Every structure is written in C-alpha cells, then in structure tokens.
Amino acid sequence: MIALRQRYIRIREPNLRLVNVAYARSEITPDHPLELSGFAARQGRSEGVHDPLYCSALLLSGPARGGEERLLIVSLDLLALPRELAFHLRSVAGQKLGLKADQVAVCTTHTHYAPATVFLRKAGQVDEEYVRYVKERFKETVEALSEPREAEITFSSAEARGLVVNRAYGGFQDEGISAVHFNPKGGGKRISLVNFSCHPVVLGPKSRLISADYPAYVYSYYREKGEEAIFLNGASGDINPYTSIGHLHFGGFEDAEKIGKSIADLTYEDGETVAPLFSWGDRHVLLERESLSVDEDTLKKLASEKMARGDHLNPVTGIPERIEGEVLLDWLEDVKREKPEPVEAEAQAFAISQDVALVGFSGELFSSIGRQVKAGSPFRQTIVVGYANGVVGYIPDEKSFQLSTYEAAEAYKYYDVFPFKKDVGRAATEAMISALHLAKGT
C-alpha cells in the first residue's frame, strides 16, 4: 500500500453545539429507455419507471479544531461511477462551494435498476448522453442547496435481523444500521443520513423497471413524515437481501418495501445527541493487481463450450453461460494487450463529532472488512460507506480468495482485466483506519 495524500488537523476545542445544514435533491430518472447496469443476466433496455432516481446533497458547516469546517455529501441512485467521473463531480461541487475535492464525498446507492454509468462487460452499455445529463443534474443540485439552517445532530443505530444473507459464504448476516439525523432548530424538515449494508438487487435480473430498489422505500418512509433521507450503502460486497423467495434476488417490490421500511423504522428515532466537531482525513492507495498466465487455446475452448450451452444459467454465478462465454472472449483480447498496473483507490473520512465518523472507500467492500474498520476505528461509532468517490471493483477478504468465490475469482473479468492481489482487503482496511485517525487528529 502506498499513501499519496494525508492531512493533519490543528487542535482547538469548539464551543458550539449546532451546525448549519443545507439540502437539495434533483431527479436523475431518464426520460427514455436505456440499458440498465449490474446484471450480465439481463439484456435489453429499460421498460418503464417504477420509482424515480435521485441525486441528493447535504452541505454541513460546523465547529472544528481550527475554527469551522464544511463537508458535502452527495448520494446518487446509480450502480457506480468510474473514479474519473466521481472526481469530476467533486471538482464541480468544490468550485461552486469553495471546497477542496477531499471535502466532497460523491457516493452511489448501488441500485441495479439504473442506467449504466460505469464499464461492466455485458452488463449494460454506458450511454454518454445520460452521463452528461447526470453531470448537469448534479451541478443543478449543488446550485440548488437551500439556505443553511441551524440544526442539532442526533445518532441512532440498530441491528437488522433476517433482512440480509452473506451470499459468498452462506447463512444469515446480521448487519448494523445507523442514521445521523440533522434536526433544524425551531422546527422544519429533518434530514437524515441512513446507512445499511446490502446489495440493492431485490428484484433480480428479470426486472427492467427503473428503480432505486429498497432505498426508495427508505425515502418514502421519511417523506411520509415530512422529512428527507439520504441513503449511503455500506460494506455490502458479499451481502444480498433475503426476500420471500430466498437470497438469489428474485423477489418483488413488496420485498423491497419490507426491507426499506424496516431499515427506516429501526433508525428513525433520534437516539443520542451528538456534539458536533467536524474534520476530515483522506488516504489514496495503490491496489496491486496479479499478473496472469493465460492459456489462450484452453480458454477459447471453454468459451465456445459455454456459448454452446446458450441461456443455461451457471448455478454459481446465476449468469447465462452464453454471456459468460462472450465475456471470456472479450476479456481475453484485453488481457493480451494490457499489463497488471496498480489501481488507485481512496479512503475518505468525515468526522461529525468526537465519537461519530463516516469513512468511505471507492470499492465494493466485503462485510468482514467493514467490521474490521469499525473495530480499528478511533471513533466510538463508525459508519462505513462503500461505492464512495468511484468504484474500482470488488474488495474481497482473504477467505473469499481461498474459497474462489465469484467476487474474488470471476468478477474482475467484468470490471477490468486483472484481479487484485489477495491482500487487497487488508490494504483497504488500513487505508480507511488511517483516514479515520487523520480525521481524529491522532
């Protein structure tokens, strides 16, 4: 792991208990059919809109150990963003608001029912016109941030039971749910950051309806109460929703509603009051990739055999073997031309108080990594956010490499060309904990 950037913070205790909060939301739903992203098992364009997609922004200004600090959090109902696009959006927001890019977090909810905005082989073609539309709406959202209002911060947390399952290892996976609530002084619309770790894949690859999946029902729960929620997905790389049909994501909207409203209900109450103390820390790391010894003839034969089996589903991946064969041939062409260069990723920490912080990483983190980060964090309450500031692929743990799960052994062929080395999880964990210490000032 190579550290490229770090920030140190001057120490001075604040005497304020309120923060200034500005909020804005814009719709990013396309007005015509597009290819959706996230499932190689799904081909074709969208067939309608079940619920709208949003870009939501929250600008925070409050006391820090050097005077005042400002932080911007933006969440988009999209599968993922490439690192370059995420940095562009952060730069746009920074220029508008007078912030450094490191003070801006751009996250995606990872819904698998939004137009493609990141490269994935055979899993949705990126439409550049839609990407331009997202850029425009993002800028409009930042420009539309409301007049800041003084607010008090509260924090709530709970355990989700029976909502998710670990798809890599099997068995139910109880995951923590957290929410940071910003309550305007003197009344008004409360804004909440809601964090939960679970793939938004409730509906499965057969659905071609545009949707935010279960986060849509988190939003509706709060709006029915006259409030707003911003959803931040967590370390969900190996976590699937447990629906009425099981964990192979073939549920319906009633399952998405159950999960979304359960998440919102469990964390809706304010919980403990938080004394604000803002700061941030940022770590850039280079994730090493493995070189591969490729037997081209054998792999071409394997691809031909898969393609001959047509739409027969691979029982491990759930992907039609015809598609897997096509992906394999396309990947082979790239692997012959490229070399396994390191990939830059980023860990970004935002401290909300002495006790509460968020830390994001630009990848699909395994849940065990999230737990390790929380255990090693200098903050009493740490919210882990995946899909933050772009996505470089799955970040599996070592057990996943040992078991050769889909995320460790196959997914890289869809995201890129070469797999990460087996210690990628440790590198990501160290970077996030380091960013948290920088935000803490330790």
Residues 236-269 have pLDDT tens digits of 999 999 887 766 667 899 999 999 999 999 999 9
Which pLDDT band, with edges at 50, 70 and 90, does 235 fall under?
Answer: very high
Examine residue 138 and state whether it is found in any structural domain, yes or no: yes
Task: For residues 41 and 36, give the distance between their C-alpha atoms in angstroms, rounded to a whole number.
Answer: 11
Residue 207 lies in a domain: yes
How many Å is the maximal CA-CA distance in the chain?
71
Residue 222 to residues 49, 68, 193, 261, 354: CA-CA distances in angstroms?
Answer: 21, 30, 11, 9, 27
Same domain, 94 and 169: yes
Q: pTM above the 0.85 mark? A: yes
pLDDT of residue 173: 66
Does 187 share its domain with 320? no
Residue 75 φ then ψ, to 5°: -125, 130
**Domain-embedded: residue 162:** yes
Which token pair is 307? Answer: 């393609």
Contact 115, 30 (CB under 8 A): yes
Please answer whether residues 28 and 49 qualify as being in contact, where contact means their C-beta atoms are separated by less than 8 angstroms: no
403, pLDDT greater than 70: yes
One domain for residues 315 and 395 = no
**17, 276 in Cβ contact below 8 A?**
yes
- Three-state SS at 183: strand
Whether residues 326 and 360 fall in one domain: no
CA distance 357 to 390: 20
3-state helix/strand/coil string of 30-81: CCCCCEECCCCCCCCECCEECCCCEEEEEEEEEEECCEEEEEEEEEECCCCC
94 in the same domain as 61: yes
394-411 burial string, b = 16+ CB within 10 Å, else e? bbbbeebbeeebbbbebb
71 assigned to some structural domain: yes
What pLDDT shows up at residue 141?
98
For the chain, the helix, strand and coil percentages under 3-state DSSP, each to the nearest 5? 30, 30, 40
| DSSP sequence for 339-382 | ----EEEEEEEEEEESSEEEEEESSEE-HHHHHHHHHH-SSSEE
Phi, psi of 320 (to 5 degrees): -55, 135
Q: How far apart are CA 273 and CA 301, in angstroms?
A: 62
Mean pLDDT of the chain: 91
175-184/149-160 β-pairing: antiparallel
Q: Are 219 and 212 in contact (CB under 8 A)?
A: yes
Helix (H, G, I), strand (E, B) or coil at 383: strand
User: Does the residue 5 lie in any domain?
Assistant: no
What pLDDT is attached to residue 4? 36
Give the separation between CA 163 and CA 251, rounded to whole angstroms: 12
Tens of pLDDT along 314-333?
A: 877 778 888 888 888 888 88
Alpha-carbon Rg of the chain, whole angstroms? 21
14: in domain:
no
Name every residue whose Cβ is closer than 8 Å to that of residue 102 and which is 6 or more positions away in sequence: 5, 7, 280, 282, 348
What is the C-alpha to C-alpha distance for residues 11 and 441, in angstroms, rounded to an integer? 8
The SS3 assignment for 440 reads helix
Q: What is the pLDDT of residue 11?
A: 34
Give the model's pLDDT for residue 315. 76
Q: Are the CB atoms for 390 and 81 separated by under 8 Å?
A: yes
Residues 71, 206 within the same domain:
yes
Q: What is the mean pLDDT of residues 360-374?
A: 96
State the pLDDT at residue 171: 67
Q: What is the pLDDT of residue 249?
A: 63
Q: Which residue has the tokens 């279960």?
A: 214
Contacts of residue 211, defined as CB under 8 A and 6 or more positions apart, other chains included, come to 49, 50, 51, 111, 113, 203, 253, 256
Look up the domain containing 329 and give its range: 292-337
| 208 plus 321 within the same structural domain | no
DSSP 194: E
242 shares a domain with 118? yes
Does residue 306 share a domain with residue 162? no
Q: Which residue has the higher pLDDT, 113 or 160?
A: 113
Q: Which residues pair with 239 in a beta bridge?
A: 166
My answer on whether 190 and 329 are in the same domain is no
- 196 and 328 part of one domain: no
Strand ranges, E, within 228-376: 228-233, 239-241, 272-274, 276-287, 343-353, 356-361, 364-365
Q: pLDDT tens, 381-398?
A: 999 999 999 999 999 999
| CB-based contact 382:235 (threshold 8 Å) | no
- Asked if 213 contacts 343 with a C-beta cutoff of 8 angstroms, the reply is no
Q: Is residue 49 part of a domain?
A: yes
Would the pLDDT of 15 be above 50?
no
The amino acid sitting at 343 is V
Q: Which two tokens stand for residue 139?
A: 């800028």
Alpha-carbon span 121 to 350, nearest angstrom: 33
Flag whether 204 is in a domain.
yes
* Residues 27 and 155 reside in one and the same domain: yes
Average pLDDT over residues 413-437: 95
Domains in the chain, number? 2
The answer, yes or no, to whether residue 287 has pLDDT greater than 60, is yes
State the average pLDDT over residues 266-293: 94
